[in-house]
Amino acid sequence: MSGLRTARRPIESPVEAKKRVGRILAALNQSVPDVRVELDSSNRLELLVATILSAQCTDQRVNLVTPNLFARYRTAQDYASADPAELEALIRTTGFYKNKARHLIGCGQALVQHFHGMVPGTMEDLTSLPGVGRKTANVILGSSVGEPAIVVDTHVKRVANRLGLTRSQDPTKIEEDLQRLLPKAQWTVGAQRLLLHGRYVCLARTPKCAHCVLASDCGWEGKQKLL
């Protein structure tokens, strides 16, 4: 829990907050220039499948599984008519494979029945699919559809709290807080940079504060003992 405590910063005026967010985004732009989603995919359906598999699993592990999976299942209809046991065997190492297989089959069926086999491009339609919440939908919207979207995963949740960009632990509320603070044009890349910063620098248990480009704008109470 200590890694998720909200930073205790002095109360900022809207102008001060805007300036600090600008500095944070600029620093991340320099330190994390590549904002590519680290899930391998070649189309929107593959990205949807990979993102569903990434729940409670690393992107690296998903990327080991998906080549064989994508070679076997190429269309929404393929997933809709998949044999559960065969699909489960292919995705077993991603964890929670029975639930994930059920979601993938359900997604395929919903895509065939309601979207002509195509992955839709709106939040409402995406979140109507089995196993798809706001996080997964925002990955699709930001990285495939091209709509401004803020993905809130465990890394974004941790970094946003440590930086004092939110005081919430609820992903939807965090998304709303970041939407207010970040320029809309920066939603997708800004959130992805926060995610990658959390994955590689602002770690949960042993954050690399001494090497963090955001240290001067971070009020996290655990920072000082790591500098």
pLDDT at 3 over 80: no
Closest CA to 96 of 57, 139, 40: 57
Res. 218: pLDDT tops 60: yes
Using N-to-C axis directions, what is the helix angle for 154-162 and 171-181, rounded to 10°? 60
Question: Taking residues 87-107, what's their average pLDDT?
Answer: 98
Over range 62-71, report the average pLDDT: 98
- Cα separation of 152 and 158, whole Å? 10
Residue 5 has pLDDT above 60, yes or no: no
Res 2: pLDDT: 42
32-45: average pLDDT: 95
Annotated catalytic sites, by residue?
A: 135, 153
Say yes or no to pLDDT of 55 above 70: yes
pLDDT for position 1: 39
Mean pLDDT of the chain: 94
Q: Tell me what the mean pLDDT of segment 22-48 comes to.
A: 96
- What are the angstrom distances between the C-alpha of 137 and each of 30, 47, 95, 164, 181? 27, 10, 21, 25, 21
pLDDT tens readout for residues 194-213: 999 999 999 999 999 999 99
Cβ contact 103:52 at 8 Å? yes
Please report the pLDDT score of residue 221 as a whole number: 87
CA distance 48 to 64: 16
- Cβ–Cβ under 8 Å, residues 7 and 222: no
Please report, for residues 108, 168, 205, the alpha-carbon distance to residue 1 in angstroms, rounded to integers and kept in the order given.
37, 13, 10
| pLDDT for the residue numbered 87 | 98
pTM strictly above 0.85:
yes
Position 40, amino acid: D
Nearest CA-CA partner of 212 in 220, 171, 186: 220
